Structure 1
Amino acid sequence: MHREFDLELDLTGLDSPMPMLKTKEALDQLQVGQVILVKTTAIGSEQNIRNLINNQPVTLRSFNKQNGVFHFVIEKAPALTA
């Protein structure tokens, strides 16, 4: 797991879909290669953020759940060109 992050988003306590929306906003601002740690407690966030990851130029570096908090470590990847 990454120990250093370019950005850490503590979205604990927010209801779905706010964690996913705020994660997308943050990812849009990152440069390629930057890493973000997202923390959320919203039950629907695990699937919502996984769906977001599958539709963005990003890589999920790690995921775990500790004491009811989901931790996503996401790296911005280069955009795919057609």
Structure 2
Amino acid sequence: MQQGIDMEFDLTGLDSPVPMLKTKEVIDGLLPGQTAMVRTTSVGSEQNIRNLINNHPATLLFFKKEDGILHFLIKKDAVLAGQ
């Protein structure tokens, strides 16, 4: 595991929409400030996971495509009281 990454999830080989659904579970399970590296090979997951992050208290810190693998580094944001 890389420094600064709290959890890593290998979702390679899973067909869409499973990686997006699993990524939602990952985000929901993180504490505010924690980060997770999610890897998938499902091409449709790139947009699905980006949309998921945009609609959740999370930030995409890093994204890259390498050798057919999509790497997402996601940080859970703090949720302000009253939201």
Distance in 2 of aligned mates of 1:32 and 1:79: 8
**For 1:49 and 1:79, how far apart are their aligned partners in 2?**
20
What secondary structure is seen at the aligned counterpart in 1 of 2:53? helix
Q: CA RMSD in A?
A: 1.3
Residue equivalent to 1:24: 24
Q: Aligned partners of 2:26, 2:38: CA distance in 1, in Å?
A: 10
Name the SS of the counterpart of 1:23 in structure 2. Answer: helix
**Residue identity matched to 1:26:** V
Gaps of 5+ in 2: none
Structure 1 unpaired stretches of 5+: none
Q: Does 1:63 align with 2:47?
A: no
Write out per-residue CA displacement over residues 10-38 of structure 1, whole angstroms, 9 at most, x where no aligned residue: 00000000000000001101000000000
TM-score normalised by length of structure 2: 0.91
| Percent of residue pairs bearing the same amino acid type | 58
Structure 1 residue 4: deviation in Å? 3.2
Q: Which amino acid aligns with 1:71?
A: H
Q: In the comparison of the two structures, how many residue pairs are matched?
A: 81
Q: How many Å separate the matches in 1 of 2:68 and 2:42?
A: 9
The TM-score with structure 1 as length reference comes to 0.92
- After superposition, where does 1:1-82 map in structure 2 within 5 Å? 3-80=3-80, 81-82=82-83
* In structure 2, C-alpha distance between the alignment counterparts of 1:24 and 1:53, rounded to whole Å: 8
Letter in 2 for 1:69: I
Residue type of the alignment partner of 2:25: E
